Amino acid sequence: MSKQLVIFQLSGEFSIERSLPLLINQPTGLSLGATLDWLEGHRSVLDNLTHRAGVILLRDLPIKTPNDFQSICRAIRPQLRKYSGGDSPRTSLTEFVYTSTEYQSGLEVLLHNELSYAGWSPDRVFFGCLQPAATGGETHVADGREIYRRLDPKIRKDFENKGVTYIQHLRDRSVSGPGKSWQETFESTRREQAENYLKTSKMGFEWTADGIKTHAFHQAILKHSVTKEKCWHNQADQWHRLLPSVKDSVGEEITKPQSTPNATTFSNHVAFGDGSEINPNDLLRIRAVSRSCEVLFPWKEGDVMIIDNVMAMHGRKPFTGLRQTVVAMA
């Protein structure tokens, strides 16, 4: 679904409709230094708008390189973080900037909250467009508040009461197979460093002959810290073994669905927090509701999108041609 962007002037009184992303009409044609000054001077306003709208978009910013983008992000949120613990295939471009994802261009990355399965989840996700795709490649977004409201009350109640447990088996880099190795995931070759991350994150784990198996419990619905609204915040529909996922395409072989979370496989799985299985049909219904809420728009060179990662979900549409979209988190 495509919607017209809501334009907001940074002056006077304002109200925000439930439409996203919110397009910020900021000064254009400035040097990078002048743009950074402007962003720093409007940091609190931009932060407030992101909390209220869920997603905001700034256009025509002077970003030509990943370093330019990192400077833009730091002007808005000075404390950026590394992508440690994430399972999406990415390449590190600067200290805090990565490729947005390296899943095959013909695949769709479904709507999700960044790192909602991991030991930490960012408050903000920044995307920057250095070069748009020839066709497609939109970053689609959806309002987690709206998804929560539209879901079947029974499904919503089960997730709200039980939470979810993500089960992940990360291979050792010496073992061939789909997905990232634990060394890539935790950005370290030392077991003790991986264990420190997991223990600090209160995640369960066990080392196996092929790598490491982790268990992470999370609430599936979060109350926003500022607005106090309930937001759908998980990616359970992309972790169940019986459902196809873009994650299955990574690596030399595709992981076949398994009926039990104890099967020896490198694939992911998800269950309710009490250990009971989630009905795959309910997950398909969740996907349908999420898709009914999605909004997409074409990227333009110089675009920077700021996402409140609690309030909004995001994904990526298939594309052709070269697409250079970069990401940072805070």
Which CATH architecture does the domain made up of 6-144+291-329 adopt?
A: 4-Layer Sandwich (3.60)
pLDDT of the residue at 265? 52
Residue 177: predicted pLDDT = 83
Please provide the CATH number assigned to the domain covering 163-288: 3.60.130.10
Q: What pLDDT score does 12 carry?
A: 36
Residue ranges, the chain, pLDDT below 50: 1-18, 248-264
SS3 of 164-204: the string is EEEEEEEECCCCCCCCCEHHHHCCCCCHHHHHHHHHHCCCE
Domain boundaries defined on the chain: 6-144+291-329, 163-288
Q: For 217-255, what is each residue's pLDDT tens digit?
A: 999 999 999 999 999 999 999 999 998 766 544 332 333
- Kindly give the pairing relationship between strand 141-143 and strand 312-316: antiparallel
Contact 318, 110 (CB under 8 A): no
* 90-129: pLDDT as tens digits: 999 999 999 998 999 999 999 999 999 999 999 999 999 9
Go through 133-171 and write b for each residue having 16 or more CB atoms within 10 A of its CB, e for each that does not.
beebbbbbbbbbbbbbebbeeebbebbbebbbbbbbbbb
**6-144+291-329 and 163-288: same fold?**
yes
Strand 204-207, strand 164-171: pairing: unpaired
Q: How far apart are CA 159 and CA 222, in angstroms?
A: 11
Cα dihedral: 11, 15, 20, 22 (round 10):
0
pLDDT at 316: 95
Both tokens of residue 115?
A: 């790192």
Q: What is the pLDDT of residue 298?
A: 87
CA distance 144 to 232: 5
What was the pLDDT predicted at 247? Answer: 55
Q: Tell the burial category of 286 from Cβ atoms under 10 Å away from its Cβ (0-12, 13-18, 19+).
A: buried
pTM: 0.89
In sequence order, which residues have a C-beta less than 8 Å from that of residue 97 and are 6 or more positions away?
66, 67, 69, 70, 73, 326, 327, 328
CB atoms near residue 275 (< 10 Å): 9
